[in-house]
Amino acid sequence: MSKLKAVDFYCGGGGMSLGMMQAGISVIAGIDNEIKCKRTYEYNIKGAQFIDEDVFDLKEEALAKRLQLKKNDNSLVLIGCSPCQYWSIINTDKKKSAKSKNLLIEFQRFAKFLNPGYIVVENVPGVLRKKEESGLQEFIDWLKKKNYKVHFDIHNVNDYGVPQNRKRFTLIANRNDSKEVEPLRDVTDKLVVSDVLGEQNGFKKIKAGNKDDSDFQHSTAGLSDLNLERLSYVEKNGGNRLGFSKISHLQLDCFKNKDNSFKDTFGRLWWNKPSPTITTKFFSVSNGRFVHPEENRALSLREGATLQSFPKTFKFKTNSTADTARIIGNAVPPEYAKRIGKAIVDNFKSYGR
């Protein structure tokens, strides 16, 4: 029986690729035009090429030749986790992200050309809510016409071994048999913050502005004296900015008389709950509920990566905190990717070819 192999479009720093590798699938290439991801991807995804190409310019035949891909290969997995800012409910500049709205359509060119055994698409839930405009509906119709069995739904990765509430659209298409392939779910393993962070899990106490130049990268952003004073009033284990809202010199002008708005700003994580969605700004206390449950600081880079289910052995090879945080926040949680990959492996084994 031939071994499953995958090509990961819009691979970023390698969250999806890592999970596929952990599931036993050979990742032969990752494709992304964000060059800042290249060193991280190549260092951690051993044996895979990082193809620095804009998918709009990449041709199907050229990619197939470069990677020696064959059409109608039952053992090939094509993955498309396109950047999703345009379809996100998070308030983003839609003009800046307008080009990204067609990335799913561009990925479909390669799926239609290669007709692989398996296709995986992961994205924000908004791509399903706007399935006509995003091109998703047309793609699903094509898949069914080509006799793929298609699973698609919104999943919370916390149901799949990730200590984080993060809802994602996931599509898995399989044309090797008539079984619908779904990520392997185990609701008994719903992890919370205390399962992975804290001193008992190898995270020593640090202060805001800590610089860790080791590969562990337990580094955290610095804070002004005023913000440190604000955090001193935020209740431990789940408190929010209302802790300092009645102290005139600490209350921010933008929040005056708005106690019910943006309460997660300056908010602490709970030990006994999953973290909120880890975004690319998780290292900032003013961009969401990203304050440590007890310490007066934002999450460190390694803490954010751990909440995304990256193993501590994963090394981020970048030149700045912001670049590392962007790789972490944009990634598919590797543990969730592994659950997708294992479902595909199980299906391929039972299919027997």
Secondary structure tally for the chain: helices H, strands E? 10, 7
Sequence-ordered list of residues with C-beta below 8 angstroms from that of 257, at least 6 positions apart, any chain:
none
What pLDDT is attached to residue 83? 73
What pLDDT is attached to residue 259? 62
Given a cut of 70, whether residue 99 has pLDDT beyond it is no
pLDDT bracket for residue 96 (50, 70, 90): very low
Given a cut of 80, whether residue 127 has pLDDT beyond it is no
Given a cut of 90, whether residue 212 has pLDDT beyond it is yes
Architecture of domain 5-185+332-351: 3-Layer(aba) Sandwich (3.40)
| 83-87, 140-144, 156-160, 173-177, range with the lowest pLDDT | 83-87
With vertex at residue 156, the alpha carbon angle to CA 154 and CA 160, rounded to the nearest 5 degrees, is: 120
What pLDDT is attached to residue 351? 76
Given a cut of 50, whether residue 97 has pLDDT beyond it is no
pLDDT bracket for residue 263 (50, 70, 90): confident
Distance CA 190, CA 166 (A): 13
**Section 261-287 average pLDDT:** 92
SS3 state at 76:
strand
**Section 136-148 average pLDDT:** 92
Name the β-bridge partners of 50: 30
pLDDT bracket for residue 252 (50, 70, 90): confident
**Section 156-184 average pLDDT:** 95
Per-domain residue ranges of the chain: 5-185+332-351
Contact 121, 183 (CB under 8 A): no
CA dihedral sign of residues 220, 221, 227, 228? positive
Percent of the chain at pLDDT above 90?
A: 77
CA dihedral sign of residues 165, 10, 285, 261? negative
**Section 247-254 average pLDDT:** 84
What pLDDT is attached to residue 104? 80
What pLDDT is attached to residue 257? 64
Residue 6 phi, psi dihedral angles, 5° rounding: -135, 150
The model scores a pTM over 0.75: yes
